[in-house]
Amino acid sequence: MTAQVDRTAEAAGAAGVAGAAEATGAGRAARAPGTVRRRVLVGAAALLMLTGGATIAHGAADGTDGAPAPDGGGHAAHSTGTDTGTRSGEAGLVGGASRSGGFWMRADGVFSPPGSFVPSDALTYDTALVPAAARIEITQYADRTSHRVGTRLRGLVPNRAYGMHVHTSPCAADPASAGPHYQHRVSATADPVNEVWLDFRTDRNGNGEAEARHEWGFRDGGARSVIVHDAQGGAGKRVACFTVPFSS
């Protein structure tokens, strides 16, 4: 009887050891390098989606990247499945030659305050008027006879008037860094004939858009950003800025 009890205990002990070994093996499998790498990649992808990344793409001359060429009319489709392109909320750029012999460009951005964890080409200096995560799209199209610059914005204050102009320098933490309005002919006065004005009014959802047309285009490197102002007209407080690679 005693021998049978000892054998039973021995068997139970062996089963416990085997179970512990199996659990240890399963733990090691769960911590296998491939699994860890997958978890790190998934975590990094989730962080990128939440905080923003960066991407730049170039469109084909005939719009075969999935976006119609601008001379087809209206705003070109977005380059990704999101509302206004990627950088997972940051700036995306597409562009190329148009079928009519001109060129086109589209840039998208998501506003964030200066000094944010993920750098942004779209900066908001007043989050009450241009909230963080508000979106902006700038389009440019030119051919032999005309030059058009358009904008669409999403997520601003509903039913409010904003001013917007093309400026001469890139955005920075200091709103003044974007320089003065771009002018076709340097003048002491500001007007929509000699400058690119994109004043707009938002709808009840905080969305707005505008387009400016001229017979002249930009000088090479002369136009580098757009500034959103708190009031329409030739001046106003600078509340947001978007660095845009305008073409000449």
Q: Which residue has the higher pLDDT, 135 or 235?
A: 135
pLDDT band for position 235 (cuts 50, 70, 90): confident
Band of pLDDT at residue 195, cut at 50, 70 and 90 = very high
pLDDT of residue 35: 43
The dihedral built from the CA positions of residue 36, 39, 45 and 48, taken in this order, carries a sign that is negative
Per-residue pLDDT band at 1 (split at 50, 70, 90): very low
Q: Across residues 114-122, what is the average pLDDT?
A: 92
> Which tokens belong to 23?
């659990």
pLDDT at site 144 = 83
pLDDT digits (tens, 9 = 90+) for 139-154: 999 988 899 999 999 9
Q: What is the pLDDT of residues 67-85, one digit of tens each?
A: 434 333 333 322 333 333 3
Neighbours of 105 (CB within 10 A): 22
Q: Which of 102, 104, 94, 96 is nearest to 74 (CA)?
A: 104
Residue-level pLDDT at 94 = 63
Q: What is the pTM of this model?
A: 0.65
pLDDT at 95: 53
CA distances from 68 to 89, 154, 219 (A): 22, 22, 26
* % of the chain residues with pLDDT over 90: 52
- The pLDDT of residue 197 is 98
Q: What does the pLDDT average to over 179-204? A: 95
Q: What is the mean pLDDT of residues 196-219?
A: 97
Bridge partners for 108 per DSSP: 92, 137
DSSP alpha helices (H): ranges in the chain? Answer: 2-30, 33-51
DSSP E strands, the chain: 92-97, 103-110, 122-124, 135-142, 147-154, 161-167, 200-201, 208-214, 225-229, 238-243
Q: What pLDDT shows up at residue 32?
A: 44
Instruction: Identify the pLDDT of residue 189.
Output: 86
At 176, is the pLDDT very low, low, confident or very high (cuts 50, 70, 90)? Answer: very high
